[in-house]
Amino acid sequence: MGDESKIVRNRLNVYVPFSVMEVIKRTVEMRICDGRTNVSNQSVALELMDIGARVQTKKLDAMERGESLHQNKLEEQLSFIAHNVVRANQKVERLIKIYGEHQNVERELLVRIIEHTPLKDREVSYLKSLFAGLENYDYE
């Protein structure tokens, strides 16, 4: 076996505060309850360190570029808001267009559709009660 097959590992002893150890223990217990068998305190601690290292790398890269640490977050939030505003505007425009198309339908066609749509007695009485004030229906 050559040098290529050797895995270089950095060994590091770390003392973990009790608060972090509690998080690690809770995570281990949760994963064991989920049915995982190869879970240990060391694997969870290494995973947390890896996540923290990625976050720290992004912060350092942003600082080296001279960016504010919160600038990207603000831009993402503004982008999200703008995207939702545009989507809401499109929905309102569609609703107005549908309403406009409904106004263009001939009254006789609507009456034929309504007459040929079977309704239950309860639905008929409910509709009569809704429109009684507008059309002055006599209903019981």
What predicted TM-score, i.e. pTM, was given to this entire model? 0.44
The domains of the chain are located at 12-67
pLDDT value for 109: 77
pLDDT of residue 44: 92
Cα 28 to Cα 21: distance, rounded to the nearest angstrom: 10
DSSP 5: G
Q: What pLDDT is stored for residue 18 in this prediction?
A: 93
Report the distance separating Cα 98 and Cα 96, nearest Å. 5
24 within 8 A of 48, measured Cβ to Cβ: yes
What confidence score (pLDDT) does residue 5 get?
A: 63
Rounded to whole angstroms, the maximal C-alpha distance in the chain is: 98
d(CA 98, CA 104): 10
- Spell out the per-residue pLDDT of the chain, length 140, in tens: 455 667 777 888 888 899 999 999 999 999 999 988 889 999 999 999 999 999 899 888 888 888 776 666 777 888 889 988 998 988 888 888 887 777 777 777 777 777 787 878 888 788 777 766 555 545 45
For the domain bounded by 12-67, which CATH number is listed? 1.10.10
